[in-house]
Every structure is written in C-alpha cells, then in structure tokens.
Amino acid sequence: MEPANELAQGLESAPEVKKKSAGPALPIDLMAWGLMALQLVLMSAIGYTQYQSFRSSLSSEALKQKIAEKVKETLVLESKQNETEPPKITPGFNMPLGPLTTNLAKGEGKSGVLKVSFILQYEANSNEEEIKSRDGEIKDITISLINAKSPDELLSNSGKHLLKEEIKSAINSKLIDGILREVFIVTFQIN
C-alpha cells in the first residue's frame, strides 16, 4: 500500500474530534467594561475635585484680599520713601487706554458714571503685538473692574490706587508675553 493511501484510510477511520467551545465570554467582557466604567467615574471625580479646588483658589474675595494687602504694602513702602527722591525710570513703552465711559456700582444710594483714561506702562521686553491684539480684552477687564466700584470708593486716593493695582494684576494674569509695570490715570471724571 502506498503511503498516501494509508494516510487517507487512517483519516477516514480516525475518530471525529469535536472542537471544544470556549464557553460564554460574556462574564469576562462584562467585568472589563465594568472596570473601564469605574475608572472613568473615578477619573471624572478626581478631575471635578481638582477643578473645584482651582476655582475656589481663584475666588474674587481671596483675590481682593491679596490685592488689598499688596496695596497696603505699597502704601507703607511709599510713605517710608523720601519724597524728594526721584522715581527710578526703567525703559519700557506706554499704551493709551481710553477714554472709557462706564457706569459705577450703586453705593449708599448714589450711582454715577465715570469717564477715565489710562496710560499703561509695559516692560521693555513685553510683546507689543500681543498687547495690541488684546486691546478689546484689556478694555473689557478694565470696564468690569470699574463697574464693581462705587463713586465713594473711587473718589479717595486709596480707592484709585486699589483700582490701578487690580487692573495691573488682572491684565498681567492674561498676558502671555508681557508685563504691565504701571497704570497711570490720565483723566478722571465722575458724574
């Protein structure tokens, strides 16, 4: 007998082998999906708590307190300086802002309208193109800060100084490649 025939006969006479089924894969798949869903929920919860923590650290009250402390420090330092000492002038560039006309918050029954112009003095290494391109954003920030002030707050020198520091801080927080060094009030009229 030829080997090929022997092989063919051997295959025909061999018992039939049945494939074993792997069984239902459903429980394992369900566990994998459940673990992924649990992971997604946990990641979302962690992200949410981090967002809330970041958001609470930027609360307006905390920001106002920090600015008020900075203003007090500045006023103390200015009072200690000799008034005859000329201010140190460092190179930079100035950008006008205004005139802006905006409503003031109602304070003790009085409300008003403020017409104001500023000169914003930037560090020399600030990107002038970025600052020019953000002119609308800078105006919006400034108007929003002014709208929150009452006429009584702005009529005092400390109130004006606080407003200038708030403007400087808010604008610097938005700039990527620039530093606002000083804010000067050029015109100021409350009606």
Report the percentage of the chain scoring pLDDT > 70.
68
Look up tokens 């369900």; give the residue: 30
For residue 99, cis peptide bond before it (omega within 30 degrees of 0): yes
Same domain, yes or no: 104 and 171: yes
* Predicted local distance difference test score (pLDDT) of residue 10: 57
- Sheet with 180-190, side-by-side order of all strands: 92-103, 113-123, 180-190
Same domain, yes or no: 111 and 178: yes
Within a domain: residue 132?
yes
Within a domain: residue 33?
yes
Residue 114 bridge partners (DSSP):
102, 190
Within a domain: residue 70?
no
Q: What is the mean pLDDT of residues 107-130?
A: 81
Same domain, yes or no: 46 and 136: no
Q: Is the pLDDT of residue 71 over 80?
A: no
Within a domain: residue 154?
yes
| 54 band by pLDDT with thresholds 50, 70 and 90 | low
Within a domain: residue 108?
yes
> Which residues span the domain enclosing 179?
92-190
SS3 category, 97: strand
pLDDT tens by residue, 155-176: 888 888 888 888 888 888 888 8
- Cα–Cα distances (Å) from 151 to 24, 157, 166, 172, in that order, read 76, 12, 16, 25
Same domain, yes or no: 112 and 180: yes
Q: What is the DSSP letter of 178?
A: -
Within a domain: residue 81?
no
Query: Considering only CA atoms, which of 118, 119, 121 is closest in space to residue 92?
Result: 121
CA dihedral 65, 69, 74, 80 (to 10 degrees): 150
Within a domain: residue 111?
yes
Within a domain: residue 62?
no
Number of domains in the chain: 2
CATH number of the domain encompassing residue 133: 3.30.479.30
